[in-house]
Amino acid sequence: MSKVFIAGEIPSAASELLEKAGLDVEIFSGDELIGQEALKKGVADADFLITPLSTKVDEDVIDAAPKLKLIANFGAGFNNIDTEYAKEKGIPVANTPFVSATSTAEVTAGLIISLSHRIVEGDQVMRGPGFNGWAPLFFLGHELSGKTLGIIGMGQIGQQVAKRMHAFDMPILYTQRHQLPRNREVELGAKFVTKEELVKDSDIITLHIPDTPQTHHYLGEQEFKAMKKSALLINAARGAVIDELGLLKALQAQELAGAALDVYEKEPQVDDGFKQLQNVILTPHIGNATVEARNAMASIVANNCIAADSGNEIKYIVNK
């Protein structure tokens, strides 16, 4: 019987599918993230590894798993895994793309609305001193209608964000390596521009790009200085695609009007400086934290293990 080691608790739909297929399932269930030694011990006799994207799978882990036939990452990203070394060892690495797009786009839209209308700030006020009553100049935010949204990365998530925010009558700029087909641009109300144009002309900027050597600190001090002082920045992608310290300095210097962060450069740690700013929203990496998205991800990783065990096609391999 083939063994699947799951390096953290995930929706039970995965283990139910695996056990129904006749696979032996072992799940790490500690209160904290699995450590490297426990991970190496768990994969020592495993045929398949299912791992959350928060768990690092490096050369040492891979070398500790001589029987490993698949690493199934529970997440759309896969920068936590040494994919090249796995390829050298003949081990495919697969992720769970697409199913997170709706959830992450909805969270992004929520952060844009909340930051623009100061909703989180308002909640904090009402939980503290409260207010003296409605007044014409009290607690003013900004409407989204007519404001320009800049989307960095117009993949599945970026397009879902554009679709939602286009309904708010927001002109949309986007930048990425390749331009979308013209009919799709028209449908989304989106215009393809350079990175420099997007940074300079956007009222709100949201990132939806992976963390790669090419995208590391994609936005930094130079870009923050080029942005409008009234601009807002949203990051629900990966922490390292922005220079977090540079962003903090820009916010403290009032070079930007605000930011909403769902991911962090040294996650799960976040610089205490952000916690002191009222114009910053901080959420704990909840982009795809919905029952629907996580169940779909569980189904993908389980079915990929079942496919690999049966000699069938594995979906979404990232290190071919």
Among positive and negative, which fits the CA dihedral 74, 80, 85, 87?
Answer: positive
pLDDT tens-digit map of 281-320: 999 999 999 999 999 999 999 999 999 999 999 999 999 9
Catalytic machinery residues = 238, 267, 285
> Measuring CA to CA, which residue among 254, 195, 203 is closest to residue 233?
203
pLDDT at res. 30: 85
pLDDT at res. 31: 83
pLDDT at res. 293: 97
CATH 3.40.50.720 fits 3-98+290-310, yes or no: yes
- The answer to whether residues 88 and 204 touch, using CB atoms and an 8 Å cutoff, is no
pLDDT tens-digit map of 139-166: 999 999 999 999 999 999 999 999 999 9
> Measuring CA to CA, which residue among 85, 36, 78, 84 is closest to residue 61?
36
pLDDT tens-digit map of 183-201: 999 999 999 999 999 999 9
Average pLDDT over residues 268-275: 96
> Measuring CA to CA, which residue among 311, 56, 304 is closest to residue 43?
56
Q: How far is CA 160 from CA 25, 190, 259, in A?
A: 35, 12, 20
CATH 3.40.1390.30 fits 101-282, yes or no: no
Domain ranges of the chain: 3-98+290-310, 101-282
Kindly tell me if the per-residue pLDDT of 132 is higher than 90: yes
pLDDT at res. 168: 98
Enumerate the β-bridge partners of residue 242.
219
- Could you give the angle at which helices 291-310 and 12-20 cross, rounded to 10 degrees? 20
- What are the DSSP E strand ranges found in 79-225? 93-94, 149-152, 172-175, 190-192, 204-207
